[in-house]
Structure formats: structure tokens, C-alpha cells
Amino acid sequence: YGINLASDSIRRNGKAVLVEGYMDVISAHQAGHTNVVATLGTALTTEQARVVLRYANQVILCYDADMAGSDATARGVHTTTALGLDVRVAVLPEGHDPDSFIRERGGKAFRKCIDEAVVFTRYRLDKIVAEIHWSDLDSRLRAVEDVVGVLAEVDSEVERAEYVRQLSGRLNVDSGALAMDVQKARMSAGRMAERPRLRQGLRSMADAIPSASNEVLQDPVWGSKAYLEVERALIRLAAVSSQNRALIMEVAGRDCFKMPAHERLFCLLLDVGGDEAVGPAELVDCVDPELKDYASSVMFGAKPWEAEDDALENALGAWQQFSIRHRLNEIDDEIKEADVSGDYERVRELQEEQKQLRRSLGSDVALY
């Protein structure tokens, strides 16, 4: 949106600033930033990158924090950088989009944010480090794993080595060990690329999770390792007491489990649990033979945090956040369809829903 008005300015500036919605573009242009265009709520696509490349080879993403850090944006940037596009991120303060930021702080402050834009890889790494709970070993280890995944995508050896040097200090890990893990990840990715990668991965995961469908496993939210761990934790916590089972039913419902095996285990807990706790061995004894091994891996795989008083509250909060992220992905697709069909009223409705959902993701208040 707005490319017809911004093309000359993009060419003069040598870069395009991408925002999400109509109001972001209008506020930016009124403040004198005429090289701003909107992706209408979607992540950066290959088609949009090709349009920008007609006028400049640099794009600055100026989204709110949730959109900039989303998996969809990461996938879009990874694809479009292969076209030769230099993608950077302008970091807005928490709770702001370009429209609200410009109205509150003015065009000069917005210019400063644009001028201080960082390369997308740096943005992703900084975000991972910023979200670490330093007192939690699992959080630190997950962060290292995420950092390795990002660095494995960096092709330049010099750039990769510099990131390893910087991140090893920030994460307090041995630089040699970090570099070795990154190299292993790159080698693994190379081997997988030589095979039908997605099909192979889905087959192995479907084998591990009985009755898991490829449609669910292909979903970027429901099929993610982090989400699967939330479902497994909910099963274990449901076994602890009838009160836990009742709260899960109240907040999420019987059909909250996307993996059929997890749904079967939860229904079994509802049937046999009554008012009592259900021990891991007791539940495993009750399941069908084909589910016993998997049920055992779930029930005996408890994490230390599950022993805390607020474990169920945290697990349900995480489940709700994943549900919101899934809905945001659906909205991305619906916005594209509405934009193609010219239904701009529907686009505006979806963008409003999108903003409300992102606000709820950024809230510290319980979502239920």
C-alpha cells in the first residue's frame, strides 16, 4: 500500500521503510517520511521484495515488536535476502506501532529510529538474549539453542565468527563450543537439504506422536517443539488433581489438544480420574497398547517448573499465547485474500483484530 506515492522517494533515499497498516503510512507521510509503504499486516513476501528492488536494495522493517519477531517475518526475510535485498529492523519502543509513535513523539524521533535500524540477524539475536530468564537454566539453554539456529543461517564465515565471539560472552558459554554447535547445525541442515526435508521430518515426528497428522505438524505454531511441550505439560498437570482438570476444561476446553494422542490421554484422565490424582504408572496402565510407550514418555517427562505452585497458570497462559499466535497467522492469510479481492473494509477489520491480539500478547496480565 502506498508504493505509487513512495516510489520516487524510495529511489532517492536508496531504501524503503515497510510498516504494517494504512494509518502507519499516512502518519509517516504527514511527518515527511515519504519512502514508507505498508505490507497490510502481512510479513515481508518475495513479491513485495521484488517490487522494492525496482527502486532500492535496502528495506527497513518498522513493525511492532510482535510482528518484527514473528516466525513469518523471519521466513520472509530469509527468502528475500536471497534476492539480494538488505533487510534491517527499526526497533520501536514496547507498545508502539509507527502511527502511535509518530503521533506521540514526532517525525524527528521516528527518523532517529529509522537511522538506528539494525541488520535482521542482530535484531533476532538481541531479542533472544533479552528474553532470557537468567536464573532459569532451561531458559538459558533454550536461548543458546535458538542462537545456534539463527547463526547457522549466516553464510559469511567472518560475520558468523564475529557473532559467535560476541554471543559467547553475553551468554557466558565457551566460544569454541558455541562455534562447534553452529557448525554441526549447518552440516545437519546441509544434509537435510539433500533429502525431502519436510517429508522426512514430518514422518519421524508422526512416528513419535501416535495419530499426529501432517497438517498439524506442518503448522508453524501447533507443530512447533515448544507448543508440543506445553500440551505434554498440560497432560501431566491434569493428572495431578481434579481441580487442575476442571480449570483446563474451563479455560481451554476438552478439544484444546491439537495432537490426537494428547487429546486421548486427557479424555482418559477425565474418565478415570474422578476426584483423585492419577499417577503416571496408573495412567500408562490404562491406555491402549499402541499408545503405552508414548504415554510413558509424556508422563515421566516432567520438567522442574511443573512442581511450582503456579505451574498450571503458566502452562495455560503459554497455551493461550500459542493460540493467539496461531490466530495471527490465520489473519495474515485472510488479509492477503481480502486485499486481493479488494475488500478493504474486511482488511481494516482484520487489522483491528490483529492489533488487539498483539496487545494481549504483550500484556503482563493473565489472558484468562
Q: Where in the chain are the domains? A: 3-120, 132-194, 196-368
Which three cell numbers mark 233? 505439560
Specify the residue for cell string 482438570. 245
Which three cell numbers mark 206? 508422526
**How far apart are alpha carbons 210 and 257 in whole angstroms?**
13
Instruction: Please state the pTM of the whole predicted model.
Output: 0.49
Name the CATH topology of 3-120.
Dna Topoisomerase Vi A Subunit; Chain: A, domain 2 (3.40.1360)
Which three cell numbers mark 311? 505451574
- pLDDT tens, position by position, 313-350: 999 999 998 999 999 989 988 999 988 898 989 999 99
Cβ neighbours around 41 below 10 Å, total: 25
Residue type, 190: G
Least Cα distance to 65 among 141, 115, 112, 126 occurs for 126
Residue 32: per-residue pLDDT: 93
The answer to whether domain 196-368 has CATH 1.10.3470 is no
- pLDDT tens, position by position, 210-253: 545 556 667 788 888 888 899 999 999 999 999 999 999 998 88
